[in-house]
């Protein structure tokens, strides 16, 4: 294997790993579980490191093979990360809708029950107050020396 082919494979592997890393970060920021993707990124990073070391040592055949392995590992990673990101965003939207719907229903019940519950409560207390009889206090007792 010649140096130019190994260098091109190494550059391709670096670019593929960088784009896969960015896709995984975006998926993680969206709330997706990317633990499996992180493991693949770690393995691909090790392959890229081995390819870089082999290239520096002048072993272009091994560098080419390691770079090719790195590229193969991250090949479907971008699509996988985008799929996980879309699923996470969809799940977030569903949770938001359910939360908003439950809040709306709860507030509606609170409004209806407080509207219809206030009248009996008010009537109960009005009757209770009207049943109370005021005490007659003599004028002498009212004034104290």
pLDDT of 39: 94
Domain-embedded: residue 136: no
Instruction: Confirm whether 134 is domain-assigned.
Output: no
State how far the alpha carbon of 16 is from the alpha carbons of 11, 53, 55, 91, 123, in Å.
9, 18, 18, 28, 75
Half-sphere exposure of 127 (CA within 13 A, CB side): 6
Asked if residue 137 is part of any domain, the answer here is no
Number of domains in the chain: 1
Q: Evaluate whether residue 138 is within a structural domain.
A: no
Whether the predicted pLDDT of 48 surpasses 90: yes
Q: How confident is the model at residue 81, as a pLDDT? A: 94
Q: Does residue 142 fall inside a structural domain?
A: no
Q: Let me know if residue 80 belongs to a domain.
A: yes
> Using an 8 Å Cβ cutoff, are 9 and 64 in contact?
yes
- The model's confidence at residue 104, banded by pLDDT at 50, 70 and 90, is very high
Q: Is residue 140 domain-resident?
A: no
User: Residue 142 — very low, low, confident or very high, per pLDDT cuts 50/70/90?
Assistant: low
How confident is the model over 10-28, as pLDDT tens digits? Answer: 999 999 999 999 999 999 9
Residue 143 lies in a domain: no
Would you state the pLDDT for residue 71?
A: 94
Contact present, 37 and 92 (Cβ < 8 Å): no
Phi and psi angles of residue 75, each rounded to the nearest 5 degrees, phi first: -55, -50
Query: Residue 125 sits in which domain range?
Result: 3-129
| Those residues with Cβ within 8 angstroms of residue 20's Cβ, 6 or more apart along the chain or in another chain | 41, 44, 74, 77, 78, 81
Q: Name the pTM for this structure.
A: 0.69
């Amino acid at each position: 294997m010649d140096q130019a082919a190994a260098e091109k494979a190494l550059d391709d592997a670096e670019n593929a790993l960088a784009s896969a890393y960015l896709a995984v970060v975006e998926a993680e920021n969206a709330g997706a579980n990317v633990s499996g993707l992180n493991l693949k990124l770690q393995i691909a990073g090790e392959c890229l490191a081995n390819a870089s070391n082999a290239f520096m040592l002048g072993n272009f055949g091994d560098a080419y093979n390691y770079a090719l392995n790195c590229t193969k590992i991250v090949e479907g990673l971008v699509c996988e990360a985008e799929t996980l990101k879309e699923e996470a965003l969809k799940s977030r939207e569903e949770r938001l809708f359910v939360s908003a719907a439950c809040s709306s229903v709860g507030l509606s019940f609170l409004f209806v029950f407080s509207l219809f519950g206030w009248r009996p409560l008010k009537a109960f207390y009005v009757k209770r107050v009207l049943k109370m009889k005021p005490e007659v206090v003599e004028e002498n007792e009212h004034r104290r020396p």
